[in-house]
Structure 1
Amino acid sequence: MRKNSGTLNASLARVISELGHTDELVVTDAGLPIPAGVERIDLALTANVPRFLECLDVVLAEVEAEGAIAASEIAEHSPELLEALKDRLGSHGIPLELVPHTEFKQRTRNSRAAVRSGEFTPYANVILVAGVVY
């Protein structure tokens, strides 16, 4: 068993360890379609368990990210979540880019993996772009 309080999920810990500069990792809600060929790390248990922001917090604690992308529709459909997302990313110095949802879904095709939460809030998805620690 790991001694520190890092990621306990073996698949998630492995993917985080394997990320290289500019690799992309998606943290998703329960409904985002995950493209064939993108590894699925399914943490969803039931509706809203675990929450998107809980999953994002765990990932952000371990991933050096230089950018993030979300669907612009989040501003209209889930404005409170957008503010929480901006706060979380901002506290790590990560800029957020908003793109149309169709473009967001296309972009997920290039992701290293998708971490699926149980979140039922619309547009609770973000692509993290890995940075470097040096």
Structure 2
Amino acid sequence: MKKSGVLNSDISRVLSYMRHTDTICISDCGLPCPDETELIDISLEKGVPDFVRVLKAVVNDMSVEKIFLAEEIRVKNPAVLKEIQTLLPGVRTDFMPHEEFKKKLLSCKAVVRSGEASPYANIILQSACIF
């Protein structure tokens, strides 16, 4: 039995298969996931689990070199943006229009759907090389 890191078997599986520059998305409960991309739905109810809690667990279990965010988060959800910046200090951040962000989901290994119910609480994490 695994005793540390992400215990969710689907998230753990995806993280273990990821290589340098592969991507995974952590989303709010409303972000549409393309049929071609694996959806790992861990939402229980509105707000549970919240986006930041899921993000913390995932970034503690992977090496991140770059993140992608919708530019709308700056105005529509500055509190979550601040949490992201606190969790990932110094990590390169690319902002883009939300519609462009959604297109990038096609290349993600998976989308992890949280129960978050606040606008633009979505992030794409790009994996770094661990050596």
| CA shift for structure 1 position 102 | 0.7
What letter corresponds to residue 23 of structure 1 in structure 2?
Answer: D
Residue 75 of structure 2 is matched in structure 1 by 76
1:73-112 superposed matches below 5 A: 73-90=72-89, 93-112=90-109
What letter corresponds to residue 2 of structure 2 in structure 1?
Answer: R
Unmatched 5+ stretches in structure 2: none
Q: How far apart are the structure 2 equivalents of 1:130 and 1:116?
A: 19
| CA shift for structure 1 position 85 | 1.0
1:109-120 superposed matches below 5 A: 109-120=106-117
What letter corresponds to residue 2 of structure 1 in structure 2?
Answer: K
Count of residue correspondences: 131
| CA shift for structure 1 position 119 | 0.1
Q: How far apart are the structure 2 equivalents of 1:6 and 1:128?
A: 17
State TM-score, norm by structure 2. 0.97
Over aligned residues, Cα RMSD in angstroms? 0.8
Identity within the alignment, %: 39
1:10-21 superposed matches below 5 A: 10-21=9-20
State TM-score, norm by structure 1. 0.95
Residue 37 of structure 2 is matched in structure 1 by 38
Q: How far apart are the structure 2 equivalents of 1:121 and 1:95?
A: 23
Q: Which moved more, 1:76-85 or 1:54-63?
A: 76-85
| CA shift for structure 1 position 16 | 0.4
Q: How far apart are the structure 2 equivalents of 1:10 and 1:101?
A: 29
| CA shift for structure 1 position 130 | 0.8
Question: Do residues 48 (structure 1) and 47 (structure 2) align?
Answer: yes
Is the Cα contact below 8 Å between 1:43 and 1:116 reproduced in 2? yes
| CA shift for structure 1 position 100 | 0.6
Is the Cα contact below 8 Å between 1:86 and 1:96 reproduced in 2? no
Residue 126 of structure 2 is matched in structure 1 by 129
What letter corresponds to residue 54 of structure 2 in structure 1?
Answer: C
